[in-house]
Structure 1
């Protein structure tokens, strides 16, 4: 199959969509498909090769690439003009088109609903999808005439799985990984860490490592220094996957403070590595974290701080969850998820090319 992925941002930019599209395209290429990624992110073009996806960084080639594609797969966030144009042009050219939403539209769904109606998207022959049930709910409200599939993200579980036995450590290590962007709430994480530390006995040593870069990185470091936490809270910036895997080998708890987390690839990687995951309720992390089994889900920042303090102070509960996570491989591996994308491609091919005659409310 000749698959064209359209994403407004791609590597070397780092983020959830960029990582997921790269991993999905690579997995499809290894499975024998002819895969090309079209993006607006500057850089050199690379042609597709057996087992390797190609990358085209010239959006002006969209029409030519659509002529060669069996399916076009657009990856949509809150604002994704290239991805939306690609699936729209694909649908008009009778190329099966899939649009996967990677962000949490949340309370903004009425605005997306209005834009969809005005733009004619409710009747366009596009198969819509989202990366989790949490992300799909507002999309279904915005596009109520259309079926919205759930196509979860995935990770290479063999890469992230722990390869050594846990060993005693003198401190509890808390890790967070993600872009230092307001949507990820890194500054709120500082407050959560401070409150948790205050509620843990002084004899329990805690180290926190917050990995990632972005527009709030300097503000995060300033906030840590202003609160006198720099002796135990570290922000090294971006790390490679190999470096993060090594960090996880000596870590205990992964914290994901974002309330608009559509899936949580980094949290899934940490869960696969055996860490106890602490995240917010009603996010995509709930797709692979069962409360009290794989980790804990919080209803507020205050509750997250309490739960983190409990985990740091209670090695028995922490050890029970970590043992479960180390022994249980999540099902969200690319080998198990690729067929979900292929199902969406088949569904896109079956979508009628006429507008649905459903009254718009």
Structure 2
């Protein structure tokens, strides 16, 4: 990350005639996670194809600045929302004029033709307002934020629920990584239609077991240490396995549940069989997966599960939650073993089956390596490009677009 600026557009050259795309993300670098990776990779692919693209992200401590991140202009914008208290409303009223000026300034400087929201939150509220004000077509991609958020923000925020319903009605295109997410949007938030655009994975990052930072036989779990990810369920399953299973558990990542997980490990007497490795860079994660007996994804709910793609890429046998979107792309017994992680006995049985059967592991690995080729970021970007080209002539309510310039 380099080149902090107060204004201006960086790296926005495009092929003449293609719409200019603002990817409006709930979070971005320096923060890491599934949404951040998705938007980063899509921005890179769009730029490689000659599209003008910027990322507009929520200011989560960076300050309202513009930076060049891996060749893509990123604007960190304030997104104040009202809360239920009088003080919260007063703070919102004071902060709103400056926040709106910054969003309008972003639109004047970049002149987007399509606003594409990723992971609807406060970013989506402002994107919706800008889409209406400038009569710009809106695209919305849900990443499971309405069901797989540890803080249950959509249950607590009437503002977000209302804005999401309005955005889904207005949107010229709505996508999600799985039918599970689309079905939830249809059931609870009034979506009509919608398309699946799966996640992708960087196929150039191939793991090497010989470079794994961990020795011996181990299960690997990777992700943000939040309750939804179900790492506590996996720790409890380890206790039921017993030491004679011959494997230990390595957990890679950090998050709010770390200390609670450490306490659970101590309570269950697993200190010598469970290792917390902290956050690793992507190459080290790939190597760790390549050396694992199995990669286990025990999420209580998983909108998609990029970790599954990473396991396939690195040649790791996969044990995957069946709660959420994984059932739409992981084939049980073929390229992964699907299991309900809330059923402790079933989770233990799935792990035992994979750990104890070398032929099963080899079959899962072979099938996964073939399957992962379907999930490239290039294919994800092409799917979005088709939608941009389809929607850029008219806004969601049929109004002609004026190139992002208010008339």
| Aligned match for 2:62, one of 29, 43, 68 | 43
| Aligned match for 1:188, one of 227, 233, 238 | 233
Alpha-carbon spacing, 1:341–1:221, altered in 2? closer, same or farther (3 Å): same
More displaced stretch, 286-295 vs 111-120: 111-120
Instruction: Work out whether 1:137 is the aligned partner of 2:183.
Output: yes
Alignment map for 1:293-312 (pairs within 5 Å):
293-299=334-340, 300-302=342-344, 303-312=346-355
Q: Describe the superposition over 1:37-56 as per-residue Cα deviations: whole angstroms up to 9, x where unpaired.
A: 1122232745559x721111
Alpha-carbon spacing, 1:347–1:116, altered in 2? closer, same or farther (3 Å): farther
| Aligned match for 2:143, one of 86, 99, 102 | 102
Alignment map for 1:245-260 (pairs within 5 Å):
245-260=286-301
- Please name the residue that 2:123 is paired with: 82
Alpha-carbon spacing, 1:147–1:46, altered in 2? closer, same or farther (3 Å): same
- Please name the residue that 1:66 is paired with: 107
Alpha-carbon spacing, 1:117–1:81, altered in 2? closer, same or farther (3 Å): closer
Instruction: Work out whether 1:18 is the aligned partner of 2:36.
Output: yes
- Please name the residue that 2:87 is paired with: none
Distance, in Å, in 1 between the alignment partners of 2:38 and 2:24 is 12
- Please name the residue that 2:320 is paired with: 279
Alpha-carbon spacing, 1:114–1:99, altered in 2? closer, same or farther (3 Å): closer
Instruction: Work out whether 1:353 is the aligned partner of 2:402.
Output: no
Alpha-carbon spacing, 1:236–1:110, altered in 2? closer, same or farther (3 Å): closer
CA contact (8 A) 2:224 2:253 kept: yes
Distance, in Å, in 2 between the alignment partners of 1:82 and 1:175 is 34
Alpha-carbon spacing, 1:153–1:256, altered in 2? closer, same or farther (3 Å): same
CA contact (8 A) 2:334 2:364 kept: yes
Alpha-carbon spacing, 1:234–1:145, altered in 2? closer, same or farther (3 Å): closer
Following TM superposition, by how much is the alpha carbon of 1:223 offset from its aligned partner in structure 2, in angstroms?
1.2
More displaced stretch, 116-125 vs 236-245: 116-125
Alpha-carbon spacing, 1:110–1:291, altered in 2? closer, same or farther (3 Å): same
Alpha-carbon spacing, 1:46–1:145, altered in 2? closer, same or farther (3 Å): closer
Normalising by structure 2, we get a TM-score of 0.76
| Aligned match for 1:213, one of 239, 248, 254 | 254
Q: Describe the superposition over 1:266-303 as per-residue Cα deviations: whole angstroms up to 9, x where unpaired.
A: 22111221111111214222343211111111134321
Instruction: Work out whether 1:33 is the aligned partner of 2:79.
Output: no
CA contact (8 A) 2:165 2:190 kept: no
SS at match of 1:289: coil
- In the comparison of the two structures, how many residue pairs are matched? 346
- Please name the residue that 1:358 is paired with: none
- List alignment gaps of at least 5 residues for structure 2: 1-18, 79-98, 400-407
Q: Describe the superposition over 1:7-49 as per-residue Cα deviations: whole angstroms up to 9, x where unpaired.
A: 2222222222122212221222222222211122232745559
Instruction: Work out whether 1:152 is the aligned partner of 2:198.
Output: yes
Following TM superposition, by how much is the alpha carbon of 1:154 offset from its aligned partner in structure 2, in angstroms?
0.8
Normalising by structure 1, we get a TM-score of 0.84
Following TM superposition, by how much is the alpha carbon of 1:174 offset from its aligned partner in structure 2, in angstroms?
0.9
Distance, in Å, in 2 between the alignment partners of 1:348 and 1:128 is 11
CA contact (8 A) 2:141 2:175 kept: yes
Alpha-carbon spacing, 1:125–1:325, altered in 2? closer, same or farther (3 Å): closer
Alpha-carbon spacing, 1:90–1:205, altered in 2? closer, same or farther (3 Å): same
Following TM superposition, by how much is the alpha carbon of 1:145 offset from its aligned partner in structure 2, in angstroms?
5.7
Q: Describe the superposition over 1:131-155 as per-residue Cα deviations: whole angstroms up to 9, x where unpaired.
A: 2111111112235463212122111
C-alpha RMSD over aligned residues = 3.2
Q: Describe the superposition over 1:111-150 as per-residue Cα deviations: whole angstroms up to 9, x where unpaired.
A: 9899449964464244222121111111122354632121
CA contact (8 A) 1:135 1:262 kept: yes
Distance, in Å, in 2 between the alignment partners of 1:118 and 1:152 is 21
